Amino acid sequence: MPVNPLRTLALLLLTAAGVAQFLEPATARPMPQEPGVELARLAEDWVQRRDVERIDDVSFSAAELEADYGRALVDRLDRLDRTALTHQDDLTWAVLRWQALALTDELDLYWFHSPLMPAGSPMRGVMSRLPLMPLDDEAQTAAYLEYLKELARVFDDVLVKAMGRAERGIVLPDEQIDRLLPYWRAFAANAALNPLIPPARRYGHLPAEIASEFGAELATVIENELAPRANRIVSLMESTLRGAAPNAVGMGQYPGGKRAYRLATRLMTTLEITPEEVHEIGLAAVEDINRQMAEVRAQLGFTATKAEFHQQLRDDPRFYVDTPDEFGAALLAYDAKIRPHIFDYFLREPEAPYSVRRVSSALEASLTYGFYNPPSERDPSGYYNYNGSKLSERSLLSGAGLTYHELVPGHHYQVNLALENEDLSQFRRETYFSGYGEGWSEYASSVVAREMGMYEDPYDLYGRLLSDMFFAVRLAVDTGMNHYGWSRPRAMLFMRDHTLESDTQIDSETIRYSMRSPAQALAYRMGRDTWLRLRRHAQAELGDAFNVRRFHEAVLTTGALPMVVLEDHVAWWIEKERNGLD
């Protein structure tokens, strides 16, 4: 559904009205008799607010409206009688309250999210949306033009936020500004070169007069509205921001940055944990994994140093392929190996099929690895989209772990068992938390797949341990740069000493941790450790009555939960199992 200014204005008015409605005194708007009915209404309202397709609003006023909505929602939830809720409704209550509180917390993080970074700016969504907008008739070309005009307002908001950050002493590091300038200069280009212009072939089938008029209007919008605004952003980066840019990285260097990073750590992991605790967990995990890797090297009869072994692995041609298709085929071979063992650990599998495919070549330069896409209306299959570029740097030594993380029994299982559970509301089916999702995929890949015998080959096991090391190193490096003031060269050296990642990947990853999305990378290992801890707790409590298939069924069919809520759910399930209740 295309976005236009009138529709966006209407949405903002509805949002403001909705917040005002939530803020009405309890005496003016009595609660319904049935708490479950009111809870369902609140969850549906949440879904409807987020189902509206629009360009992300980066203005402070929009963030304030979201925080107001969050505070009002918490108030409504806290006045519900939780004792009258079923267990599933109580989980919905806890998830919705966590989300509402996160909206208020995000206001405190507002100035720490850069609108200039592609991953954090509205442009990531815009550049994904534009190629999908149909141009088959005059109404659709008009919608495309309206979308671009709305984007002009967004460019104004990006400029205002970037200036506001600078006024507060929050400026991206100098090296990142230099990397971003070509990106924003592209939007300042004329119509002939601007990436916001659709290729002529997309609308060339229209009647000549309509196609010609559309082309002319595109050029006008670009050169009169968008390019000048993008140029003002570029000018700000080249002058004010570059002049104030620090030669350091991490949130901790900015006023209020350590407090903000502490908050981001909690939001991203969905655990009550501090950066200091995460850092120590990371260092301990690195030491433990190094011990396990040394045992595998001894098993292989390798007596030289770890560095020499790693160089041998880098140079070993058996772990590389020549073409992207061969890379995809290697991943599917690992999938074929695990499939016969799935029902030893799970009661069911998703109905949705899955496969692998190469990611768009236009995106490969900005991705370290790839990503999972769930099924959609256009395609009922889930896919791991792998990066097929620079294959000489993409060792398949960790290919088994990658496959089990992304597909089975990782992301594909977790996402689709929730999506296909018709007993869950849309809110619960579609909610996602990185600690739960990424943590599950790491637990599934490192713990469950290992128990299934997928790493009996010492090289496959070493590759899995290298993946374990990568996620453990993230804990130390992310907290190191954002909380303890590590320089990026120090972080890169730490990664180089402990992982098998290429210099290109280490460069990309350290930018991600320190500038693009601080604390997000903590979710993987911290989530994995929480999943393992909860399973071990259930085993200890239930003894011989523990059934791993029933455990996985109980924790995967709920939809994603904050990890603190998952802990409560597992405690509930333990009591149910202990009492023999279905």
In tens, the pLDDT along 377-433 reads: 889 999 999 999 989 989 999 999 999 999 999 999 999 999 999 999 999 999 999
Q: Whose structure tokens read 């992310």? A: 478
DSSP-derived 3-state class of residue 194: coil
Q: Is the pLDDT score of 12 beyond 50?
A: no
Q: What is the pLDDT of residue 401?
A: 96
Strands 371-373 and 354-358: unpaired
Quick: pLDDT tens for 99-110.
Answer: 999 999 999 999
Residues 263, 257: Cα–Cα separation, whole Å: 10
**DSSP assignment, residue 360?**
P
Of 80-84, 305-309, 375-379, the one with minimum mean pLDDT is 375-379
User: Are the C-beta atoms of residues 32 and 84 closer than 8 Å to each other?
Assistant: no
Q: What is the pLDDT of residue 20?
A: 47
Helices (H), 237-384: 242-244, 257-269, 275-299, 306-315, 324-338, 361-364
CA 257 to mean position of chain CA atoms? 22
Q: Which candidate, 531, 332, 512, 382, places its Cα nearest to that of 443?
A: 531
Q: What is the pLDDT of residue 33?
A: 61
Q: What is the pLDDT of residue 380?
A: 94
Total H helices, total E strands in the chain? 26, 3
Q: Is the pLDDT score of 487 beyond 70?
A: yes
Q: Which candidate, 517, 531, 538, 540, places its Cα nearest to that of 566?
A: 531
Query: What whole-number percentage of the chain has pLDDT above 70?
Result: 93
Of 24-38, 80-94, 311-325, 372-386, the one with minimum mean pLDDT is 24-38
Q: What is the pLDDT of residue 22?
A: 52
DSSP-derived 3-state class of residue 562: coil
Of 255-259, 287-291, 370-374, the one with minimum mean pLDDT is 370-374
Q: Is the pLDDT score of 349 beyond 50?
A: yes
Tokens read off for 373:
């896409």
Residues 6 or more apart in contact with residue 135 via CB below 8 angstroms: 141, 144, 198, 202, 203, 206, 214
User: Are the C-beta atoms of residues 288 and 485 closer than 8 Å to each other?
Assistant: no
The whole-number average pLDDT for the span 276-288 is 98
* Cβ neighbour number for residue 143 with a 10 Å cutoff: 17
Is the pLDDT higher at 364 or at 268? 268
Q: Is the pLDDT score of 139 beyond 60?
A: yes
The whole-number average pLDDT for the span 19-27 is 45
Residues 6 or more apart in contact with residue 213 via CB below 8 angstroms: none
Residues 251, 538: Cα–Cα separation, whole Å: 38
Q: pLDDT band for 124, please (50, 70, 90 cuts).
A: confident
The whole-number average pLDDT for the span 278-304 is 97
Phi/psi of residue 413, nearest 5 degrees: -65, -50
Residues 270, 531: Cα–Cα separation, whole Å: 13
Q: What is the pLDDT of residue 366?
A: 64
Tokens read off for 109:
């993080």
Q: Which candidate, 517, 530, 471, places its Cα nearest to that of 265?
A: 517
Q: What is the pLDDT of residue 160?
A: 97
Q: Is the pLDDT score of 520 beyond 70?
A: yes
The whole-number average pLDDT for the span 544-572 is 97
User: Are the C-beta atoms of residues 182 and 230 closer than 8 Å to each other?
Assistant: no
H or E segment at 207? none
Residues 437, 417: Cα–Cα separation, whole Å: 12
The whole-number average pLDDT for the span 137-157 is 96
For 367: left if phi > 0, alpha if psi spans -120 to 50, otherwise beta; the answer is beta
The whole-number average pLDDT for the span 338-351 is 97
Phi/psi of residue 58, nearest 5 degrees: -100, 10
The whole-number average pLDDT for the span 510-520 is 93
Q: pLDDT band for 156, please (50, 70, 90 cuts).
A: very high
The whole-number average pLDDT for the span 87-101 is 98
Is the pLDDT higher at 508 or at 10? 508
pTM of the model: 0.89
